Structure 1
């Protein structure tokens, strides 16, 4: 399956990291790069349920390819969500259905650091993306 350019870049950066501390720092930096959502988008309708932290998600279909924007009140989650966006932005609805979240974070070398609640939260975000794409 073809990876979006941002995902290829993320893989390269994270796979070259020399250990967890460096990955954790990079995770925070990815989160800081997320463009802020406007206040209108930070509404109940865009809140992803199933996350311990607040995560807002909006998605738009553009020429058959999905573009998602998201943000969170939690720094670590923001980073994880940013990496999820890198993986899914630009995909078609069909490709979005095939994204394997645990495989993606495995490839990044971050799966060990995903607590069950974080993993559930990210799965809830991906699930919400798929609902928007239906």
Structure 2
């Protein structure tokens, strides 16, 4: 049930030989994301449970889910970009149905993130799912 953008990331990960290259790719994905307006980086958009500073601002237009996100850590900004590829453009009712751990597991991220990063990633997914469920 992954989006074409997420499938592109998965294909790139399959092509990259080692985790150093994959981490570099995740960081590049984060660098390529448009910056989040600092005015949106407020307590209401801050994601608790992350070691880094993380903000996610969900947006629903015409029944489709999207979000802006940002972090003060490059790797986390890249993880936000991966989540954006996973969820952006889906009908809002489909967002909670995405098996994010399984999809991210295809990338092997679960085995290569620290416990703190994994906790933060789960917190970001929870924020996305909760927002979509409330809007559906």
Please report the TM-score for the alignment, with normalisation by the length of structure 1: 0.92
Instruction: Measure how far apart 1:17 and its partner are.
Output: 0.8
Structure 1: gaps (5+ residues): none
The equivalent residue for 1:80 is 79
The equivalent residue for 2:95 is 96
Structure 2: gaps (5+ residues): none
In the TM superposition, 1:41-52 aligns within 5 A as 41-52=40-51
State the SS of the aligned residue for 2:50. coil
Are 2:18 and 1:19 equivalent residues in the alignment? yes
Deviations 1:49-93 (A, max 9, x none): 111111111111111110111010011111111101110111123
> CA RMSD, aligned part only?
1.3
Are 2:112 and 1:113 equivalent residues in the alignment? yes
Whole-Å separation in 2 of the counterparts to 1:39 and 1:132: 21
Paired residues of 1:101 and 1:123 also in contact (CA < 8 A): no
Whole-Å separation in 1 of the counterparts to 2:49 and 2:109: 21
Are 2:70 and 1:71 equivalent residues in the alignment? yes
The equivalent residue for 1:31 is 30
Instruction: Measure how far apart 1:110 and its partner are.
Output: 2.3
